[in-house]
Amino acid sequence: MILISGMLARALELPALAGPEKVIDVQDVQEQIADTHENWRASENWLTQQSLIEAKKILGLGRFVRGSLDYEPIRGLKMNEIKSIDWRNEDGINWLGPVMNQGNCGSCVAFASVATLEAQTSISAGIPWLKPTFSPQALFSCGGGRCNLGWLPEYASEYLKKIGVPDAACLSYSSGSTGEDVECDQVCADFSSRKVKILNFLTPTDGQGCVETIKKALHKGPLVTTLNVYSDFLTYSEGIYKHVTGDYVGSHAVSLVGYDDLRRAWLIQNSWGTEWGEGGYGWISWDDISGLGVETWAFQVETHLKELSIVAPIDREYLSGQVRLIAKTLKLENSILSFQFRNEKGESVKNLSCQGDKDEGCSVSFDSSELPDGRYEVIAESFSSDLEVIRSQIREFFVLNRVPEQSLSFIPAPDLNLNAPLSGLLEFMISAVFSPVPIQHLEFRVFNLDGKMMTYKSNDFVLEKMQISWRTATVPNGEYKILVHGETVFQGKVYSVDSEPVFVTVQN
């Protein structure tokens, strides 16, 4: 799962058989917005650089959204009756998990379902610091989703009810980096004990319904919903989106996290990283033709007062030196809590304990250099008054206490001659060598000969072997330098590495 602290979660563009034309011309969208006086802004981003075939890969709903909503009951509202909800700031609290990026895999249904479940778990418990994480890779791979085919929300909902989904560390998300499916047998060995089920799911709307029904459901928590995507939607950067130009690209699933009667718009949390929209969120007009809200799913989760959560470190955090562990629970006062560490082999390597406090939680520090550098999991445990064991979700983190060793290289496809003028879609294989932990952040960069970076694509889940592609139509004809750049933060300093640069000529 891509849960990045302090870095943009944007995915590499992956190879596809397609022509050189981009899916949408941003300047044309901007002109259409001005001509129609719509209230939103279009900008270039990693999505607008793609062809139609490539753009379809970042969707994944397996059907066209059909039906309509009845908006009549809200027409004629007086100003003093206007209402709204935004789960990013409900009672001054952000109940949502971080914006994620599905990359170039049609896994939107899994991401929308996980985002909705993470928020609903905290909301139902009434605990803003709970912040659970679930694995979209496990849900997608084990539930029957496929990168090139996508999935359906009703299947995801049924799977969450019957089987459940584990924490993010049980199976990290990699399909967005490779464009390839991951087999379900890759989940953690203790999957059964780590999975969480929903009690039930409801469908406030199912191809038809009243907007008031959705609003009522939203007051209990976010919903999974679907929409038809037109190419101008890929360019959205802020404001209230309403389709103005461009063809139908495919259908998509997102988490519906709010509404505003005054704006006459829905608020969504998307799974295209923070570069798209308003930091990964978007307002969609009630008058748009996308069909947003025509289909919705609400999750019912178990609520009790035994929740225990590790609030530091966060998932996939890179740690060095003195590290502070923090856990919270409503049942922590005057109780002893333990932290248990496991290495990548699943072996127990360290235990720590601390005294609980209902306000500050349980906090303990340790010297991470006591552990060999590498990947670890940590779980917190406490005992209730009746000696029942209460366990937190597992968090994944990396220990790094020496300067990282890292190198990068990229190899063009066998039939690609970089000495000849280039055009169209260019395919490369990235080889990443790293020790003792994975490179934290990766970028494919294109510079002009004045040293100005013209375009780049990034990813924060770095594998030893990755595929990327570069569409030459994203830059004017001319000469360029291309390379792969990696970064890892160690003790507050960024250690970077570049592949050998290659000078190429673009002639579209």
The residues that are catalytic are 108, 252, 270
For the chain, how many helices (H) and strands (E)? 8, 28
- DSSP output for 479-508: EEEEEEEEEEEETTEEEEEEPPPEEEEE--
Identity of the residue numbered 180? E
Give the Cβ contact number of residue 327 at 10 Å. Answer: 27
Helix 108-125 with 153-162: angle, nearest 10 deg: 50
Q: Report CA torsion sign: 368, 371, 373, 376.
A: negative
Give the Cβ contact number of residue 149 at 10 Å. Answer: 11
Q: Report CA torsion sign: 372, 375, 466, 488.
A: negative
CA 359 to chain CA centroid, Å, is 31
Identity of the residue numbered 396? E
Token couple for 400: 């790094």
- The whole-angstrom separation of Cα 312 and Cα 291 is 40
- DSSP output for 240-288: EE---S--EEEEEEEEEEEEETTTTEEEEE-SB-TTSTBTTEEEEETT-
Ramachandran angles phi, psi of 377, nearest 5°: -125, 145
Give the residue carrying structure tokens 């009667």: 261
* Beta strands per DSSP E along 27-163: 40-42, 68-70, 84-86
Token couple for 485: 């750049």
Please, what's the largest Cα pairwise distance for the chain?
Answer: 74
Give the Cβ contact number of residue 350 at 10 Å. Answer: 15
Q: Please say whether the beta carbons of 152 and 166 come within 8 A.
A: no
Token couple for 441: 């952040």
Do you find a cis peptide bond into 412, omega within 30 degrees of 0?
no
Ramachandran angles phi, psi of 87, nearest 5°: -70, -5
Which residues, at least 6 apart from 142, have a Cβ–Cβ distance to it below 8 Å?
159, 163, 184, 187
Map residue 6 onto helix, strand or coil: coil
Q: Please say whether the beta carbons of 58 and 457 come within 8 A.
A: no
Element (H, E) at 496: strand 493-498
